[in-house]
Structure formats: C-alpha cells, structure tokens
Structure 1
Amino acid sequence: AGVPIVGTRPEAIDLAEDRGRFGQVLVNAGLPAPKFGTATSFDEAREIASAIGYPVLVRPSYVLGGRGMEIVYDEKTLHGYITRATQLSPEHPVLVDRFLEDAIEIDVDALCDGTEVYIGGIMEHIEEAGIHSGDSACALPPVTLGRSDIDAVRRATEAIAHGVGVVGLLNVQYALKDDVLYVLEANPRASRTVPFVSKATAVPLAKACARVMLGASISQLREEGLLARHGDGSNPDPNAPIAVKEAVLPFRRFRRMDGSGIDSLLGPEMKSTGEVMGIDHDFGSAFAKSQTAAYGSLPNSGTVFVSVANRDKRSLVFPVKRLADLGFRVLATDGTAEMLRRNGIPCSIVRKHFEDPGEGRPALTALDAINAGEVDMVINTPYGNSGPRIDGYEIRSAAVAANIPCVTTVQGASAAVQGIEAAIRGDIGVRSLQELHAALGGP
C-alpha cells in the first residue's frame, strides 16, 4: 500500500520471529541460547527432543501470550501435545526448545535509536524460568543478580538490538543458569512490562520510543531530560525503591461444574488478566503490597499447609522454619513432615486425600483441613507430569475455592515469607510515586 513504516522495519520484526535467522544473530554475537529445533512432523519433533534432551518446551510459531506452549517431559507426552494442540505443516511448524530447569528468568526493556541502547529496566522474575513472563512476579531493580550478571545482560541486549536492527523498544527474556546467561527470546516491540518500568523509574519509555521512531537520538532525549542524563536501568540509584510487579490471576472467578475451584498451577501459557505494582524501600514490603493489591493481604498468623516435591524439600526448609518461628502452625503430608521434623520444625501430619485411612494414619486429610477453614495458606510445589503435580491438583483447587493464598514455587514461598515478615513488623508505609521519584531527583 506504500504506507511508510517508522521505527523498527518489518523485516527486522520477522527476523526476530524466525528462530533459524535469529539463532544466527546470537551465534554471530557469541550469545548462548537453549538448544532448539523446528519440526513439521511428530517424527521430526521426537528426533529433536531426543537430541537435545528432555524436558523440552514446545510451542507453535508466531504466538502471543505463550498460547499453546507446554513443558514436555517424555516422548508419550510429546506425542499427545502434537496430536492435541497442533496442525503441523511447513507453513505452521512447532518449535522445540531445551527447557532450563531451576533457572532465574530475567526480563529487559530497552530502547535503541539504531546506534545507542538505553536500558529501561532489568527485571528479575520471582518464579523460576518456565512460568510465563506475564504470570510471574518480578522485581525492579533485580534483588539477587550480581554486577557481573547485570553487565552481561547489558552487553547481550546491545548485541541483540544491533543484530536485529531495532529502532524503538525491545524486550529480551533471558535465563540465568549455573552462571551462564541464555537468550530465550527477543521481541522488537513494546512489551506488557513497559508501563510497569516507566511507573517504577519515572522514565516515560513509550514517549521516548515515539520520539526515537520519528528520528530523535537517545543522546538528544538525555539532553532534553526525557531520559536519565547519566546511566540507565542497568545501573540504578542505590537508594532507588524496589518495585514488584504481580500478575492478577482469575482463578477465584471461575468454578468447575460442581462448584469446586480450578487449579492455580502456573506454566508457560499465560493465564493472567491484569497486573499490579507494589513499591517500597525493601523487597519484603514491596512484595507484601503487591499481594494486597492483587489478592488481599498475606496472613500474619494461623496455619500453613505444606506438601512439596522431593526436589524442593531442601530449599523450603528455611522458609517454613521462618513461618514456624513467626508463630504459624504447620500441617504437612507424611513425607514433607518427616523432612521438616528432621530439621527441627514442629508440624502435624495430615493424610493425602487419595490415601486410605489405615493404622497409624491420621483421619484428617489436607482437603478436610482446607475445606473446614483450618488452613490460612498453602505451599504446594508440583513436578513433572505425574506424582506431586497430579496429586496436588485437588489441594490447589480447594485453596482457590477457599480463597486462601496458594504458593506453587519455592521462590514464591520465600518471597511470601519476606512479605509476611514486613507486614508483622508494621514496616509498610504509603508514599506517592511523586514523593518517591522526587527523592531520587526524578521528574
């Protein structure tokens, strides 16, 4: 139609979406990415998954919101996914990526004028990689990343912006595992996190992007005061407040036909319908505010039910111990209770809902306790396609129906404990964004 396109050219957008061509950009820049392949049949998908190793992340090409995306742990499940979710053809391939378990996911919003790159913000996800970025809570600035990690993120983002040919906004998602920074994907457009970053940092990224797309340079916008005159989101003021973005998930609004709740388990397909922000001088207070805004306050006392996958038991000792020290009563299933007691954490045992009440087994089940209103928070971490993932379905659904917090990741449990501690201290104040930004010398 001859309409001029300002900003990033359509060819650059297509390059970022084409895994083969974008993969070559990463190779040229020396940036690692999870091993991947593109399949147009089940046989091809099976060969790729066998070569790179399970678990794998499978999804259709050219999708938003993680639509149709799934973590697959074995060949049988892969066949089911291909049969159920896709219609493969050379025009509609499926992408198969190596899934990085126990990795820290990082989100970056950046602005590029074709030459200089301005980092708007680096966000550290609270949930591990594998939870869709739209459903994961995140902290800005990052709370556990070291200086070397942040420098690596900056260098990688600059290389991607120049390699793709971005003129405008760019969002890049990374996974940090064993001190290696992997590139997950890059989108040369404004992401859903741009409003959050702009509100947290007092930098109007959308306005700056519009100016850049129309020909302004980043150095010019710095001189005008639209962008920070010195530095950017990769080196924030050490006194900057911490902002936490939390997803608003609609689980409580939906019920199954029998009136029971639905599963609150998060995964690679986006389920959230909105977002909120909490901001304060420390992470615990900011996280507590975000939970209050999204779901209601975290409990300051009462009973917490704990049932976790074997691989998570060691990591959850300290969060659960802290809850017990704060005065919470702990309920747990048999295996989890044994581990907690070995670590000096007093707890009461409840039976799994599918277990028969036998000799020596408690009469009360986890579902009984939740449905009777005796539980104030649930910590249930699933794993794989069977075992704890399926066993915990009824527990998580009951928690949703009872309108109580249900935490399904180790990282989420640790963050919740910090939020509860801040609330108990009474350390949560209210300040306007204008006050916070003025204290930093912002607009």
Structure 2
Amino acid sequence: MRTAEPRIAPGGRAGTVDPARWPDVAAVPRASRARRAVTEAVVRRALSGLPLRVRFAGSDTVGLGGPLLEVRDPDRFHARVGTAGLVGFGESYLAGEWDAPDPVAALTVLAAHAADLVPAPLQRLRRLWALRRPHEERNTPDGSRANISRHYDLSNDLFALFLDDTLSYSSALFRGFPATWDLLAAAQHRKIDRLLDLARVGGGTRLLEIGTGWGELALRAAARGARVTSLTLSQEQRALARERVRAAGREDRVTIELCDYREARGTYDAVVSVEMVEAVGAEFWPAYFRTLDERLAPGGRVALQAITMPHERMLASRDTFTWIHKYVFPGGLIPSGQAVEETVREHTRLVPARRDAFGAHYAETLRLWRERFTERAPQVAALGFDDTFRRMWTFYLAYSEAGFRSGYLDVQQYLFTKEDSVR
C-alpha cells in the first residue's frame, strides 16, 4: 500500500507530484520499521565500500570518498528501496528524496559496482524479491505496438528539442574527444555512413531498414541511389519521417511502412537495423534475427547497431522489472554480445563477419543530449511536460550515460553476411 504525501522537490523545496500522472512517485510505499531497518543496513553496507560519499540527512556520511550523493529523506528513501529495489531508487530521485551535484558521476560508480551492490545471499534469492515484468508488456505484435508508442509517440517536438538536426536517436561516432554539440550531426552521419558502407549500400541496392527513427538513415541511403523500405511501429515517427522524405524529394526511393518486423515481406540486398534489437525482448530474438535472414538475398549483408551488456548481468536481470521499463522503455531488454551471436548461430544462416565497439562515443552522445535537454527546460515545459517528467527524463539520460561511462553498457556495430559473401 502507498500513501500520498508531499515530496521534496528539486532544490529542496516542498512540492507535490500529480498523483494521476505519477502515482508511485506521489505516494510513498508503506514499509514496516523492521523492513526499513533491514534496508538501511543493507544499503549502508553496500555503499560503505564504494568510492562515493553518501550523506544521509540528520545522520553521518558513508563511503570511501568521491562523488557526493545526498539522501535528503532517509525514511522515504529506505521505504522505496526496501519495497521496490532499483525501481524505488529511481522513484525516490523523481520525488526529490535524494540528489547529487553530479548525478552522472554518482551513478557511474553505482553502475560500475552493479554486480556487487546486492549481497550474494540476496542475489541467489533474486526471484523472490525482484519485481517481475508485467505480462502485458511482452513484445507480441500488439504488445510491441503499445510499448513503442509509450516512448516514441510522446511528442516529435520533445525529441527535436534535444536531438540534433538529423533527429538521430542512437549513438554517434565521433572522430575524437571531447565531443561538442556542433560536431554531433557530423558524428551521426559518420555512424550512418559506416553502417551503409558495411552493408555495401549504393546505387540500385534494395535496402530494408527495421526501425525508421525519424528517417535520416533512409534519406542518406536514398542519396546513394538505394531503394529503401523502412519499417516502424511509431505513428509519430512515421508521420515526420514521411514529411522529411517529401521535403527531400526522395519519395520515389523511400517507402516508410507502419509494420512490425515479423510482417516484413520481400527480398533485399541489404538489411540495416539501428538499436532496434533492444526493444525486441529475449523471447522474440530468434524471430527478429530470422527476419533479417529471411528477408536478405543470398550474398547480402546485414549491418546492425546494438547496445550490449555483460552476459552474466543480462542473465541475472533479464526477467527483472526495472525503473527503465516502468518509466522509459517498456518491454525492453539489452542483449549481451554472446546472446546476439548465439541467437544468430542457432536460428539463422547468417555469418558474423565483423564487430566494432564504441561505448565511449555513446557516453558523449548522451552527455550532449542531456545538456541540451537541460538548457531547453522552458521549451519542454511549454510542450506540457511537468517538473516530474523533466526530472525523470534527465535521470534517464544521466542513468544511461553512467552505464556507458562505467563500461556496464557498450554499443556495437555488427556485420553479418549470408553465404559468406566476404572475400
């Protein structure tokens, strides 16, 4: 049971959260004194050995030194963590019950030690205490449409506020660091061009793109002379991508369909899919990779960009309901590199030919998005997104950036061939 109570707003002022929009942020879960005490003991033990400074209001500071994390309301913080684990940790941030001068730095430490935060005995009992994924968020054809819509149909105008002019919502590929905003569009084109080069997309290529985004890759392929069929489940993305195709005069070369990958038909010389597999779910990875295989002509090439995580961590958390699932990407699961290659080997005729990792580039991409989003907070508010949403989105970007900075997450570009077409 949860009780609605005032929260501590960002900046320490008392405020309220819209309980209709954010019920589990507005309400603090009821937790017994014993549960809170056990949670506090486990949390303090976990944090005391980390290179962090965790300051509990009205109490002491634990940790070995490093980035500061301030717990402003320890009772509510422990109630949420003790009831909902990492989901509660994120909700406590949305409620303003904890904060950090540099959230990315603090979250990077936590991400780097993710495997050790929960004591081994509790890890073995994970199935008993970890929240389970809702059945309705399975990535069936209908479930996928609902899951995709909850994120990508939020508002094209919202995404345009923090993405660069290419509207690319995936990792860029920079020439070097530090990355700056004025280099982001070129770095996104570099990423796209590298994928198209891997797939050998050129004049006359029949290209299937699974996951349209807002159309930049399709436009770039069409400029090379390819004929592109691009699939999306997002109504909003499709509408804007079609508008961009018309504005570029590429309607004769680009077709954008509102279509599940499982419903794709035809044969293509190349297939490209950018950060789509993370939305598929482990249950449907075989179907996804079989689609790449079945749609690809003999001698064709698949270029895939995918976020990955360590295999052991994927196995440990694959059935767990996380803060990201609840608030950002319902139904998602980041695969491991091992899972990708095993699925391809066991369910397709595709041959892994190349893999390149560039996780540090994603960290920089996310930093630039986060800084842009923060700078444009008034415009975000003008679109009708409240303070809690803006805090949630900032946390999502910081949380993701920390994953890449810590090495917990990586991003890969894969090349798969059919009938060993590489010479």
Q: Is the pair's TM-score, using the shorter chain for normalization, greater than 0.5? A: no
Which of the pair is proportionally richer in helix?
A: 2
TM-score, length of structure 1 as denominator length? 0.29
The higher relative CO (CA closer than 8 Å, separation ≥ 6) is in 2
Provide the TM-score with structure 2 as the length reference: 0.29
